[in-house]
Amino acid sequence: MTERQRLILAAIIEQHAEIAAPVGSVMLAKLFGVSSATIRSEMAKLEEMGLIVQPHTSAGRIPTDAGYRFYVNSLNEAQAEHPQQLLDRSARAIEARVTTHGDRADRAIRSAVDSLVELTQNLGIATIGDELYLSGMGNLFSQPEFMQGQHAQQVARLLDNLEPWLREAKPNEPLNVYIGSENPIGKASGATLIISKFRSPYSDNSYIGVLGPTRQSYAKVMRLVRHTGAMLEEIL
């Protein structure tokens, strides 16, 4: 993949996250300062790679799960190499809010989840002992992707089985990202699960994160979830 193709893929993912609609060549041509024909040629190559798809003939392009995975892998490497970049204003706001509850692990974790909900507009989740704490259900089902009955049912099935799956599977990375069909449960839900593992007074395998559509602001959300897990492990 060329550098320009990499940048176009990232732009499609980021624009799609904002507008919740296919991204066209005209918009990208303005962004990159090249002709629409050049963009269409590059998009055709990305489509051949299976990284984007045209949902219908007259539309622009949207990312596939494979396209999201390529993008997320690049982000994950960059964020792991430069953890100091995690300390932006949003991350500091979570830290300030959570540290006021440092003497009560359950309150600190709930506060961290509620902060993630506010900042990412996703559903927030965390394990507190044997309990799965959920916050922001309205955010999840107000997303256009989940207003259809089939997707909503798949998301509900994912949520019903999430706590036992976490207990059994024990995802072991500091940041774990499951995109769309990669989800071990609810494969057809069109949802992305982003979770961070941390040690708490309840378990060495505690988790905090968010669940939302595959159409995510991945750079921001991954950064916040990663930082929140690391912060909880430090203060609890």
Q: What is the pLDDT of residues 104-136, one digit of tens each?
A: 999 999 999 999 999 999 999 999 988 999 999
Same domain, 171 and 115: yes
Instruction: Indicate which CATH number applies to the domain containing 93.
Output: 3.30.450.40
Give 182-230 pLDDT, tens digit per residue.
987 778 888 999 999 999 999 999 999 999 999 999 999 999 999 999 9
Q: Could you tell me how many residues make up the chain?
A: 236
Tokens of 218: 């991945």
- Read off the pLDDT band of 64 (50, 70, 90): very high
What's the CATH code of the domain at 34?
1.10.10.10
The continuous run of DSSP H or E covering 109 comes out as: helix 105-120
Residues 20 and 106 in one domain: no
Question: Does 85 share its domain with 122?
Answer: yes
pLDDT at 183: 85
Question: Is residue 145's pLDDT more than 70?
Answer: yes
Q: Which domain holds residue 110?
A: 77-235
Task: Tell which wins on pLDDT, 74 or 153.
Answer: 74
- Residues 59, 85 share a domain: no
Q: Is the pLDDT of residue 85 over 60?
A: no
Question: In the predicted model, what is the mean pLDDT of residues 72-87?
Answer: 75
CB neighbour class for 21 (10 Å; exposed up to 12, middle 13-18, buried from 19): middle
Span 89-116, average pLDDT: 89
Task: Identify the domain boundary among 21, 41, 63.
Answer: 63
**pLDDT at res. 117:** 96
- Both 124 and 209 in one domain: the answer is yes
Residue-level pLDDT at 83: 61
Quick one: 222 and 176 in the same domain? Answer: yes
**Does any domain span residue 190?**
yes
Answer yes or no: do 50 and 88 share one domain: no
User: Does the pLDDT at position 84 exceed 70?
Assistant: no
Distances (CA, A) of 108 to 69, 105, 113, 131, 135: 31, 5, 9, 15, 14
Q: What percent of the chain has pLDDT over 90?
A: 64
- According to DSSP H, which parts of 34-104 are helical? 36-48, 65-81, 89-99
With 80 as the cut, is the pLDDT of residue 58 above it?
no
How many domains is the chain built from?
Answer: 2
What does the pLDDT read at residue 122? 96
* Confidence band of 91 (pLDDT split at 50, 70, 90): confident
Q: How confident is the model at residue 95 (pLDDT cuts 50, 70, 90)?
A: confident
Could you tell me the two tokens for 184?
């071990």
Question: Span 78-98, mean pLDDT?
Answer: 76
